Amino acid sequence: MVRVAVPERGGTGYGSGALIARDSKHAWLLTNWHVVRGATGMPTVTYSNGQRFAANIIKVSVTEDLALLATLRPNVEPLKVASHAAQQNETATLHGYGPLGSYRAIDARVRGYKTLRQPDHPGTWMAISAESRPGDSGGPVVNGRNELIGVLWGSNYGETLAAHTTQIRRFVWPDRCQPLRPRQPTRPIVQPLRPVAPQRDPRIDVLVARLDALQKQVASINCEPGPAGKDGRDGKDGAPGKDGLAGKDGTNGDPATTPVSSHHYVVVADPKAGGWPRLSGEISHAREAFHAIRVSGLPSFPVGVIPQLVEYRAGDPVRVIKGSREVSAALARIAKGEQP
C-alpha cells in the first residue's frame, strides 16, 4: 500500500496506490489517472515501510482512470494481481490513506458490476459495499487471498466503484492480456515490465547529507556524565555501573562517566511526540541488556522518518532503522540480547 503526493498548482494533491511489480532496481505501482492528472512535477510515493521515492508517470488511461508509476525498488513485497474477476458477494477489503494520510483498511463485499454512461467514467465498474474517503482514490481492493482485484476511484451513497481485474491487466500488460471470465484463470504473466529508471528528487540527497552530518556529530561525543554513587566515603572503591553510576561503596568522588563503546546505538526521536513515553520505556528496557544506547533529539533540519535507531561500530554508522514499528521491534530484540 502506498500514498501518492502530487505537486499541483496552488498546493499538493494526495491519493493512494498499490505496488504490483518490482525487479532488482525498480518498482511499479498503480493509482488513478485523476490523482496525477494535475501534476506540475514528479509525484512522491511513500511506501508502507516509510520509504519515500520520486516517481515517474509511465502511462495513463483516461477511460479506465488508471496510471502506472515507477520508482526505485522499495523493501516491500508487491501485490499479486488476481487471475480472475471477482465474484458477486466475494470478500473485498479497501485500502487507502484518506485526506490526512491516515491509513485504513475496511472489509466489504463485491456487490457486482455497474455500467456507467458518464462522460468522465464510461464503462463497467466493480461495485463494493463500503464507502471510501477522499484521498483513498487509487487505493487497492484485495480479496481474501490478498490478491489485487480492483483499484478504487469513487464513492457515493455507501458504495465504492473500482477498476476491475480485466481493466487492470489490459492496462498494465496489453500484449498479454486475454478477456477474463469469472473463475477462469488466464496464463501467468511471466514477462516483467521494461525497467524505466526514475529520476531522484534532489531534495532527498540534501536531507541524506544533513542526516549523515548529524550522525557524525553524535559519534564525536566521547562520554556522557552519570550521577555520583551512594553511601560511600571516598569514592575509591566504586565501580561504574551499567548506566554510568558509581558503585555502592563510593560517594563524594568524581561523577562517574560511561565511555563510548566501539559498538553502540543512537535513538533519534522527538521527546514531544505522542509516542515518546512508550519509546522511552522501550529504550530503558533495552538498556538493561545493552547499556550503550543513547538518545538524540531532533536537529534543526528535516531528517526524514522519525524515530530512527542508528547503529555504530568503531565510531562509524553502519545501519539505520526507521519508523516507530521498526525501532520498537529492534529495541525489543536488543532487550532479549539479540541482534536487531
Q: How much is the pLDDT for 228?
A: 46
What SS3 state is found at 108?
Answer: strand
How far from 248 is each of 235, 239, 240, 257, CA to CA, in Å?
9, 8, 10, 15
Supply φ then ψ for residue 165, to 5 degrees. -60, -45
pLDDT, position 184: 30
What is the number of helices (H) and of strands (E) in the chain? 5, 20
Q: Specify whether the CB–CB gap between 228 and 241 falls below 8 A.
A: no
- Cis amide bond preceding 307, omega within 30: yes
The whole-angstrom separation of Cα 68 and Cα 61 is: 9
Q: Are 132 and 96 in contact (CB under 8 A)?
A: yes
Written as tens digits, the pLDDT of the chain (340 aa) is: 899 999 998 889 999 999 999 988 899 999 999 999 989 989 999 999 999 999 999 899 988 999 999 999 999 999 999 988 899 999 999 999 998 899 999 999 999 998 887 776 778 899 999 999 989 999 999 999 999 999 999 887 789 999 999 999 999 988 654 433 333 332 322 233 333 333 444 555 565 666 667 666 655 554 444 444 454 444 444 444 444 433 334 333 333 333 445 788 888 888 877 788 888 889 988 888 888 888 887 765 556 678 888 888 877 778 888 888 888 999 998 988 888 8
Write out the H or E segment, with its range, that includes residue 122.
strand 122-128
Domains of the chain are: 1-184 (2.40.10.120), 202-222+260-335 (3.40.30.10)
**φ, ψ dihedrals at 231, nearest 5°:** 70, 0
Q: Which pLDDT does position 112 carry in this prediction?
A: 93
pLDDT at 148: 97
